[in-house]
Amino acid sequence: MILILQHDCSDHAYFKGKVDIEIVPDMTNRKLLWGHYKAQENGEYILEIIDQQQPYQIEPFVQANCIVMVPFQEQTIAKGTDLYFTKIDEV
């Protein structure tokens, strides 16, 4: 189990990146998804959301280099939408 502590998030900057797939958000809660960010030459980030995000799976954690924060809302989030993420591959 990984805990995101308040000081972990407040000490590190949040970044914006464009998601590579359509995401169905939860209408009442935020989601945290494992992701893999890639920087482009123009300075923008592309966020690849890692599949099979089920409890007790180690593969997404091993592949991920960021945690993507999905806001709670009713509408589906379209591919190419900017979402915030925090890097977990840097200390």
Q: Can you give the CATH number for the domain in which 28 is found?
A: 2.40.340.10
Within-domain flag for 33: yes
Is the pLDDT assigned to residue 66 strictly greater than 90? Answer: yes
Whether 59 maps to a domain, the answer reads yes
Number of domains in the chain: 1
Full domain range(s) for residue 72: 15-86
Structure tokens that stand for 39 in this block: 């920087």
pLDDT tens profile 9-58: 555 589 999 999 999 888 888 888 999 999 999 999 999 998 766 666 66
With respect to residue 3, please indicate whether it lies within any of the assigned structural domains. no
- With a CB cutoff of 8 Å and minimum separation 6, the contacts of 33 are 23, 49, 50, 53, 67, 68, 70
